[in-house]
Structure 1
């Protein structure tokens, strides 16, 4: 079944073309034939029709504006796509406009099942058929590359989760210390949200230090503890040592095996919490209940020369979660490490920040004017990107320079944790800066370790994102194109009244680019602790309706942060900016099966490997389009610019203008700017960049003014002053020179599906 509507006018960025709109079960296609000059007509130049393709999951908002009675205005449908493409279709016939609107909504929202999406019917062109991207990531091969399978290694690959019953959101193979038995893992899993125990994700080949990741512990208001969790983490932090114990670590109970064999041992707190609702929602609700009682003050933090537990959340958020049986490690029980709170906000804050960016761009379909840069700055988007980069810089420094181990977690360990873990590995390991290595990194830290792509991306869409002007269907209409469409209406009315707007001889028709099949937008952080006992098997339900509150731009932020690294270190990456932009588009296109599911188990259960194609087929078949010509693969730690490690220059965080479909000048302002960032975050009192750290905690000591003293371990003021003094002297190196701007690649046109 398909629908074709003739005499449709498309407007974008102040330009317009007439053409035909085609609606198929998986695509919305606008086609038009460009006009040609008289000279070309004489030469017999043949002009081929041009097409602009939209997959339905790309659509973020759709608004029907019926023509007012007794008015010369035309009915219109305005679309905002997840790749920040804004278009408006004008219809001569209002009945046709309504029919198109209902068809778009029907094909976008009514499938209700993942297996009804385009990926399950997509037939690849011949070049893609030569590749099988599902074979690109082999966990055993990757762990062997990292070196943990070498003779004498202190690591092993546990198969406790081979059938995904231990932790449904974790990979089937989990790297853990050789000294830790599966029995210990079984009990340790009861202490971590959704049994997402501390597990290895990166092993440094030079110093044998590690990055491990997990979910939050089930501490609760009673300060529950787990001897097995403590034992597991201490074993991880000991793997790079010879035979000597960790400094300042002495905890005899950790050596006892009795609690391994007896789950009722008094040394293991048995924790039971309610079935999970959503950790991020709980976090927001709890903070709202205490709003006004806690005034958070952030502290500048450098790098600690010790093993580190990184809690990505703001300090207040982490401690608020104790009220529902969750929380953060009590460092009295983890004396072999220091803990840092990074202050990275949750998925709801990130979604709201992106919505504010969208508000600054919202009239892109009806006006060629650039975005309001003050509005962009107020969105806080660059502050959030900078905060994530600063967290990655801290972790990179800890592992790469101070030869320490780092454990990363947030709430469930699949949003902020994935961002920090993956970015840190890009900074630490040149392999992940190659095209193949980056694909392996995404497979490992996002797909295998679990990220809620299906929820964060809103693949099945929601009727709340569709509205008829003056006949609101639901949701927040202001999210679509601004406050009640007021400014948008004024611009649209002025545009419509312009002389010759629909004139057949308008010479500007051809100027509509026929590229932009690239669509990108949302992702981020969510659900809470599961339960103390091993989690039940999870499956993708037959009917899955998108919940707008679970969408967030987490993966988008990761790609944005990667772009910052690429821009700052243009010779250190094998792939180019277009690769990142196209990858973000395919996050939402639903053309491939890679990003349709929340974890490895769901992909296995749904037979994604057999029934869909991998997104990597697309890139590998077009490798030359995504290769960086400036790439220098040589690594030499004795030569500046060729070192193994790279560090983000957080003060130079800039707008990724290409992804928003804007010029560099529109988003970042006129050049040159010598030392200041393109758009400086302005939400700190002095107008400077907000420090990332919201708290430092060690056994018996804390440096934080954001949490009531009664919720923190006792600490002598002298001890706190000493820690603060030590931290203030540890700062990260700053870049001494800024790279020159690189020429941006121009898109050549729409790539046909």
Structure 2
């Protein structure tokens, strides 16, 4: 496809741009296949470069200042009547821009181009496939962590576990990576049978090994028990091999008991006690999908309320239930960590598909327990393992943000919810995490609109088919370059081997202001103060080293 086909008007002069935290400015607006570029007329250095993929919705309006006969052509009518138009651009990073364009036709052309080019659904046409960094020394080797590396570096893992290549051609499970860590006593033929018994082929695999007591966290999708109460001996043997001679393991189902029961009517279900006698099942109802997306939309709407009425604001915040989702996620992760760390039992986490709340819980539980996941590099490796390689469908979940007028389909801000939970940990334990809040904000932006290919596609299989790793650059590698590392490192970081147990009391959880309120004047003052404090800490650190 030629992007030029969708661009009827490429440049417009005398455009007025109004954006948050900046005075209105007049200049030239340009549209390309992937970007919207505004150049200020008075100061050529003042430019706004907006990735079209970052645009979630637009609203357009046109008006004629003087009416004329329909005998005039459309273009001539625009000139004589003094027609003009306004486009409101609502971005996925929650920024709202207003663009005033002289000329009705030009306004409609620009609006049409933005709507079309910001909603391309062909992955290979998106900007990461065209992006070429100015620093050509960027390493094209993809990723910072592999299953082999994880297996090799996790001490003690090789005694009872092995690295299986049963999914090397993605034929067993399209959403799993080619290599997986499984119990050593379970052969690949058994794994193939277990995969047919789990939704989407997502059979139980290891994602965390506790070095102190040898307990593990496994994750999977739901078993396909169905109304007829089907059994899979190989699945039962696999879970028994996980706990060995231990008296008990825990299954944390991220659905309510009622939801798990209802899933049997559509072929899913849960592990019955009679067949999994050594496993105790606990239910923790975690919302996802449309419910979570609607909660996000309500919160963003509340944050955009300009009535300055505190009672109304608090009511809208509560009605969004976003902080309730944060509380549930952190408490469920805390439960998993408590089972492993304090009680010394292995845990299997799953919901229905195992690609959303399951990954959210496993990620947070590892952050709570494992100090190696709390450094900058360790955290990025964790995200690569638990979200990119483990098959979170980024393309579907992050196709739209909170402003889109499109009908909700598979969008859900699960990854954003995870980042919010990590921010709560970061705020409660300011010395224990080796990365800054700026990293979490950057990741939130990149998941929805990025120059890099890391969050493209829904699975490793899709990335291989589209050659994402050969044709795009890796975000995580870029974030670990020296210049970026300095920005995203926490200067107060002090590594600790202790678990960090978050408080989930309502008074302990706060709205993530620098994300949800980042475009307000009040938050700009907060950012400036925090940046001053950070610079003082960095300066103090340099002086102490002299």
> What TM-score do you get using the length of structure 1 for normalisation?
0.63
What residue is the counterpart of 2:283 in the other structure?
Answer: 341
- Tell me, yes or no, if the aligned pair for 2:288 and 2:414 is still in contact at 8 Å: no
What residue is the counterpart of 2:134 in the other structure?
Answer: 125
Displacement after TM superposition at 1:566 (Å): 0.7
What residue is the counterpart of 1:38 in the other structure?
Answer: none
What residue is the counterpart of 1:630 in the other structure?
Answer: 492
What residue is the counterpart of 2:350 in the other structure?
Answer: 409
Task: Give the secondary structure class of the aligned counterpart of 1:333.
Answer: coil
Displacement after TM superposition at 1:67 (Å): 2.3
RMSD, aligned CA: 2.9
1:587 and 2:450 correspond: no
Aligned with 1:565 (options 416, 421, 425): 425
**Cα deviations across residues 448-496 of structure 1 (Å, max 9, x unaligned)?**
111101111117x99x947xxxxxxxx46xxxxxxxxxxxxxxxxxxxx
Aligned with 1:10 (options 5, 9, 17): 17
What residue is the counterpart of 1:391 in the other structure?
Answer: 332
Aligned with 1:373 (options 301, 304, 314): 314
What residue is the counterpart of 1:575 in the other structure?
Answer: 435
Work out which structure has the larger RCO, using CA pairs closer than 8 Å and 6 or more positions apart in sequence: 1
What residue is the counterpart of 1:221 in the other structure?
Answer: 227
CA gap of 1:188–1:607, structure 2 versus 1, over 3 A, is: same
Richer in helix (by share): 2
1:77 and 2:84 correspond: no
CA gap of 1:188–1:149, structure 2 versus 1, over 3 A, is: same
Residue correspondence of structure 1 range 414-433 to structure 2 within 5 A: 414-433=355-374
User: How far apart are the structure 2 equivalents of 1:363 and 1:73?
Assistant: 31
CA gap of 1:73–1:340, structure 2 versus 1, over 3 A, is: farther
Displacement after TM superposition at 1:663 (Å): 8.2
User: How far apart are the structure 1 equivalents of 2:126 and 2:350?
Assistant: 32
**Cα deviations across residues 428-463 of structure 1 (Å, max 9, x unaligned)?**
11111111111111111111111101111117x99x
Task: Give the secondary structure class of the aligned counterpart of 2:444.
Answer: helix
CA gap of 1:392–1:203, structure 2 versus 1, over 3 A, is: same
The aligned length equals 505
Task: Give the secondary structure class of the aligned counterpart of 1:66.
Answer: strand
User: How far apart are the structure 2 equivalents of 1:404 and 1:746?
Assistant: 45
CA gap of 1:666–1:311, structure 2 versus 1, over 3 A, is: farther
Residue correspondence of structure 1 range 335-734 to structure 2 within 5 A: 335-362=277-304, 372-458=313-399, 465=404, 475=406, 548-621=408-481, 622-633=484-495, 635=496, 643-651=497-505, 652-662=508-518
1:144 and 2:4 correspond: no
CA gap of 1:200–1:384, structure 2 versus 1, over 3 A, is: same
- Tell me, yes or no, if the aligned pair for 2:284 and 2:332 is still in contact at 8 Å: yes
Residue correspondence of structure 1 range 39-78 to structure 2 within 5 A: 48-67=44-63, 75-78=85-88
CA gap of 1:314–1:70, structure 2 versus 1, over 3 A, is: farther
- Tell me, yes or no, if the aligned pair for 1:191 and 1:218 is still in contact at 8 Å: yes
**Is the radius of gyration larger for structure 1 or structure 2?**
1
- Tell me, yes or no, if the aligned pair for 1:357 and 1:381 is still in contact at 8 Å: yes
Residue correspondence of structure 1 range 245-256 to structure 2 within 5 A: 245-247=245-247
CA gap of 1:415–1:317, structure 2 versus 1, over 3 A, is: same
Task: Give the secondary structure class of the aligned counterpart of 1:650.
Answer: coil
1:101 and 2:97 correspond: no
**Cα deviations across residues 337-377 of structure 1 (Å, max 9, x unaligned)?**
1111111012111000011112223467xx99999332122
- Tell me, yes or no, if the aligned pair for 1:33 and 1:49 is still in contact at 8 Å: no
- Tell me, yes or no, if the aligned pair for 2:89 and 2:96 is still in contact at 8 Å: yes
User: How far apart are the structure 1 equivalents of 2:32 and 2:137?
Assistant: 24
- Structure 2, unmatched stretches of 5+, are 68-81, 535-546
CA gap of 1:368–1:25, structure 2 versus 1, over 3 A, is: farther
1:31 and 2:39 correspond: yes
Displacement after TM superposition at 1:334 (Å): 1.1
Bigger mean CA offset, 62-71 vs 408-417: 62-71
Task: Give the secondary structure class of the aligned counterpart of 1:550.
Answer: coil
Task: Give the secondary structure class of the aligned counterpart of 2:24.
Answer: strand
What residue is the counterpart of 1:159 in the other structure?
Answer: 165
- Tell me, yes or no, if the aligned pair for 1:133 and 1:616 is still in contact at 8 Å: no
Displacement after TM superposition at 1:388 (Å): 0.5
- Tell me, yes or no, if the aligned pair for 2:217 and 2:346 is still in contact at 8 Å: yes
Aligned with 1:200 (options 184, 190, 206): 206
Displacement after TM superposition at 1:136 (Å): 1.1
1:320 and 2:262 correspond: yes
Residue correspondence of structure 1 range 286-301 to structure 2 within 5 A: none
CA gap of 1:30–1:314, structure 2 versus 1, over 3 A, is: farther
User: How far apart are the structure 2 equivalents of 1:446 and 1:84?
Assistant: 23
**Cα deviations across residues 309-359 of structure 1 (Å, max 9, x unaligned)?**
000112222211111111122122111011111110121110000111122
**Cα deviations across residues 600-640 of structure 1 (Å, max 9, x unaligned)?**
1111222111110001233122111111111112x3xxxxx
- Tell me, yes or no, if the aligned pair for 1:313 and 1:410 is still in contact at 8 Å: yes
Displacement after TM superposition at 1:219 (Å): 1.2
Task: Give the secondary structure class of the aligned counterpart of 1:228.
Answer: helix
CA gap of 1:165–1:362, structure 2 versus 1, over 3 A, is: same
User: How far apart are the structure 2 equivalents of 1:19 and 1:386?
Assistant: 46
User: How far apart are the structure 1 equivalents of 2:317 and 2:373?
Assistant: 31
Displacement after TM superposition at 1:551 (Å): 0.9
What residue is the counterpart of 2:79 in the other structure?
Answer: none
CA gap of 1:362–1:664, structure 2 versus 1, over 3 A, is: closer
User: How far apart are the structure 2 equivalents of 1:619 and 1:76?
Assistant: 37
User: How far apart are the structure 1 equivalents of 2:418 and 2:153?
Assistant: 24
User: How far apart are the structure 2 equivalents of 1:59 and 1:663?
Assistant: 16
User: How far apart are the structure 2 equivalents of 1:106 and 1:65?
Assistant: 17
Displacement after TM superposition at 1:13 (Å): 4.1
